[in-house]
């Protein structure tokens, strides 16, 4: 009984895809585990009862013309940081999130703290530990760029490239591992 050369070739392709799928999965298992757990947490951050991400507190005015200048709000946030969090930790701001409709300015610090101030008065509304920002850094690999103080986020770029290509490879090989046997059965 001679085997169909086309079927033989297809079986070889399936074996190769199965091996690539298995080896890649075994090699990147820990990374996929971290990405899946961190992605799940990020999806739930706004529904975590302020554990991962605090709610936005309300200021006294949503009219920007009644707000203090940003540099005054920044100085207040920095002062609150030193008073309530630490005088030793660096108080370098990563970004400022203006929530006009809430009357709030959120100062997000590079060390994963956040301070919400009233835009009109500059008063402290809330201090938070921004766990979601840390989890996001784990999810995309940028936490290593922060830890090693790299410029241009090279670790994040390498990590996301590897993980993105691996996911694409898993999609292609997984689909073929599902479809290939069906096609082979049809040909018999």
User: What does the pLDDT look like over 38-69, one tens digit per residue?
Assistant: 999 999 999 999 999 999 999 999 999 999 99
Q: Which of 114, 129, 144 is the last residue of a domain?
A: 129
C-alpha to C-alpha distance for 37 and 110, rounded to whole angstroms? 23
Tell how far CA 9 is from the center of its chain.
Answer: 42
For the chain, percent of residues with pLDDT exceeding 70 = 98
Q: Are residues 61 and 96 in the same domain?
A: yes
Global pTM value: 0.83
Domain boundary among 110, 129, 148: 129
Task: Report the CATH number at residue 102.
Answer: 3.10.450
Q: Are 47 and 88 contained in the same domain?
A: no
Mean pLDDT of 25-34: 94
Which residue's structure tokens are 């090989």?
173
More confident residue, 124 or 21: 124
Lay out the sheet containing 113-118: strands in order across.
93-99, 104-109, 113-118, 124-129
Mean pLDDT score, 126-133 = 97
Q: Are residues 109 and 154 in the same domain?
A: no
**What pLDDT shows up at residue 183?**
80
Q: Tell me: the pLDDT tens digits for 63-122?
A: 999 999 999 999 999 999 999 999 999 999 999 999 999 999 999 999 999 999 999 999
Query: 136 and 46 in one domain?
Result: yes
Residue 80 structural domain: 54-129
176 confidence band (pLDDT: 50, 70, 90): confident
Helix (H, G, I), strand (E, B) or coil at 168: helix
- Tell me: do 122 and 141 sit in the same domain: no
Closest Cα to residue 80, out of 129, 134, 117?
A: 117
Least confident of 62-66, 72-76, 140-144, 179-183: 179-183
Give strand pairing partners of 114: 108, 128
Residue 159 has pLDDT above 60, yes or no: yes
The pLDDT score that the predictor gives to residue 16 is 93
φ/ψ of residue 156, rounded to 5: -60, -45
Mean pLDDT of 124-132: 97
Q: Are both 135 and 178 inside the same structural domain?
A: yes
Looking at the fold, whether 79 and 103 belong to one and the same domain comes out as yes
Asked which of 95, 113, 129 is the last residue of a domain, the reply is: 129
């Amino acid at each position: 009984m001679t085997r169909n050369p086309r079927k033989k070739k297809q079986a070889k392709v399936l074996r190769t895809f199965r091996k690539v799928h298995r080896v890649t999965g075994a090699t990147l298992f820990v990374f996929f585990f971290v990405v899946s757990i961190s992605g799940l947490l990020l999806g739930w951050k706004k529904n975590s009862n302020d554990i991962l991400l605090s709610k936005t507190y309300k200021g006294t005015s949503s009219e920007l013309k009644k707000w203090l200048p940003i540099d005054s709000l920044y100085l207040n946030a920095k002062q609150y940081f030193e008073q309530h969090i630490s005088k030793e930790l660096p108080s370098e701001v990563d970004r400022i999130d203006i929530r006009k409709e809430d009357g709030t300015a959120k100062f997000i610090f590079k060390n994963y703290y956040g301070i919400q101030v009233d835009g009109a008065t500059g008063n402290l509304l809330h201090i938070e530990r921004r766990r979601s920002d840390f989890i996001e850094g784990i999810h995309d690999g940028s936490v290593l760029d922060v830890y090693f103080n790299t410029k241009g986020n090279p670790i994040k770029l390498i990590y996301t490239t590897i993980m993105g290509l691996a996911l694409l490879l898993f999609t292609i090989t997984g689909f073929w591992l599902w479809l290939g046997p069906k096609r082979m059965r049809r040909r018999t």
